[in-house]
């Protein structure tokens, strides 16, 4: 399952996501792309109702349409442009809403585990930044990597792209799209 965190339709993040998923296709991986901008949902409100239900029940929104695909998918692709040194607000809200897949005990401080742990789940991450300096990407990749690792995903690969802002400008960089496709192939191989 591919998750696009960009607010721009047809932008660089969309092309990266499509290239990653296309790279997985020859190995028989069937992948669905979800563009968060197409869904009405909000970030976690910390109501903790998910602890009893095992899924978010405190909010009734578009995440209810996304959760079944996340649960079913053994491979996950997250792609986000850099917004102010981090992921977009859509990607942050999506990641926060994965909180419902944690399980907590009643001790203080609370111990926790993930319902996804031990399931062989894999992930690929990609981020794109207008500036050419690596420092300007800030926390974009770690903001996706750390929560997925905590949920039990093994990160198969990451792609950081710099110096592109113009809509679909990444299409002019065949080497970047080739690396994206290879990440998709790596993910497909890892989830076999």
Q: What is the pLDDT of residues 73-84, one digit of tens each?
A: 999 999 999 999
Which pLDDT score is estimated for 117? Answer: 96
One DSSP character per residue, 127-170 reads EEESSSSGGGGTTHHHHHHHHHHHHT-EEEEEEEEES--STTGG
Q: What is the domain extent for residue 19?
A: 2-190
Residue 155 β-bridge partners: 123
Q: What is the pLDDT of residues 132-150, one digit of tens each?
A: 999 999 999 999 999 999 9
What is the spatial distance between Cα 157 and Cα 154, in angstroms, rounded to a whole number? 9
- Please give the distance of CA 170 from its chain centroid, rounded to a whole number: 19
* Residue 180's CATH number: 3.40.50.360
Work out the angle at residue 160's Cα, subtended by the Cα atoms of residues 159 and 161, and round it to the nearest 5 degrees. 115
pLDDT value at 108 more than 90: no
Which pLDDT score is estimated for 111? Answer: 87
Across 48-68, average pLDDT: 95
| Closest C-alpha to 104, from 59, 48, 44, 46 | 48
| Closest C-alpha to 91, from 137, 150, 41, 133 | 41
Q: What is the pLDDT of residues 82-104, one digit of tens each?
A: 999 999 999 999 999 999 999 98
If one counts the domains in the chain, the total is 1
**pLDDT grade for 176, boundaries at 50, 70 and 90:** very high
What is the spatial distance between Cα 56 and Cα 88, in angstroms, rounded to a whole number? 21
Across 30-46, average pLDDT: 95
> Which helix (H) or strand (E) covers residue 189, if one does?
helix 174-190
What pTM was computed for the model? 0.96
Across 34-55, average pLDDT: 95
pLDDT value at 28 more than 90: no
Which pLDDT score is estimated for 71? Answer: 97
User: Token digits for 99?
Assistant: 């909180």
């Amino acid at each position: 399952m591919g998750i696009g965190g960009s607010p721009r339709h047809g932008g660089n993040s969309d092309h990266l996501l499509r290239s990653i998923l296309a790279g997985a296709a020859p190995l028989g991986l069937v992948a669905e792309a979800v563009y968060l901008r197409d869904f009405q949902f909000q970030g976690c409100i910390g109501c903790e109702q998910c602890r009893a239900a095992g899924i978010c029940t405190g909010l009734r929104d578009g995440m209810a349409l996304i959760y079944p695909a996340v649960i079913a998918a053994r491979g996950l692709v997250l792609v986000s442009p850099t917004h102010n040194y981090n992921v977009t607000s859509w990607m942050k809200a999506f990641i926060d809403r994965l909180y419902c897949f944690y399980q907590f005990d009643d001790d203080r401080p609370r111990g926790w585990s993930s319902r996804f742990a031990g399931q062989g789940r894999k992930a690929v991450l990609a981020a794109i930044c207008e500036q050419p300096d690596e420092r300007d990407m800030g926390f974009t990749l770690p903001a996706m990597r750390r929560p997925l690792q905590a949920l039990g995903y093994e990160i198969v690969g990451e792609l950081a792209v710099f110096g592109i802002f113009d809509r679909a400008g990444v299409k002019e960089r065949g080497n970047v799209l080739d690396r994206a496709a290879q990440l998709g192939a790596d993910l497909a191989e890892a989830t076999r």
